[in-house]
A and B are shown apart, each in its own frame.
Chain A
Amino acid sequence: DADVTQTPRNRITKTGKRIMLECSQTKGHDRMYWYRQDPGLGLRLIYYSFDVKDINKGEISDGYSVSRQAQAKFSLSLESAIPNQTALYFCATSDLSSGPWGETQYFGPGTRLLVL
């Protein structure tokens, strides 16, 4: 089984709808991240969490919110989806014990979101 799973893998929604993307991990890692990938822009950080009580904004958090329900679960919500949020979304995890800056991030399979 995959260590980092994302659901759903594909989602089509309409403008104005609220949707949630979910991420679960079995790696036992403390840190979890949400990124979005757009063609030609690489991956950009939306939110990150270093433990259940810690949530931090990334570089593009507007229009998004997150919830860290447990060490293993980190959800991303689009409060009111808009077409320019169409993208590939990735969840990632890393292990604090590896060091505060050098830990390797391991990525889930991604969720393709289309906002009409």
Chain B
Amino acid sequence: AQKVTQAQTEISVVEKEDVTLDCVYETRDTTYYLFWYKQPPSGELVFLIRRNSFDEQNEISGRYSWNFQKSTSSFNFTITASQVVDSAVYFCALSEQGAQKLVFGQGTRLTINP
């Protein structure tokens, strides 16, 4: 069975601090995809990144970076030099080959204080 755990329910930091959001997943498949979505206070869900199970290269996009480690079944998300606009709920999700659906973690509410 597939499962995604985001153990950090809420995180609060001061602007310009670096912050890492943890995501741990469970799957029996060797082929799967991992995703991160952002939900700002306005409520919509914004796609951030997709990573397949065969590509363990870390990815960086501006102040955002993602660390995928199959050995620990983790796909962590780091925001460098955080800004108030980064305040949102962030969801990690998993899609297995053949399962034909996304399974979401519970989400982490990130608050960046000025």
Contacts and interface: CB of A to CB of B under 8 A. Distances in A.
Contacts of A90: 45
B17 to A, nearest CB: 25
Most A CB contacts (10 A, CB to CB) among B37, B46, B47, B102 go to: B102
Interface residues of B, number: 27
Chain A interface SS verdict (over half): strand
Interface residues of A, number: 24
B28 interface: no
The 4 A-B residue pairs whose C-beta atoms are closest, nearest first, are: A107-B45, A42-B104, A43-B104, A102-B33
Nearest to A2: B44
Nearest to B45: A107
B50 interface: yes
Interface in B51-99: 52, 91, 95-99
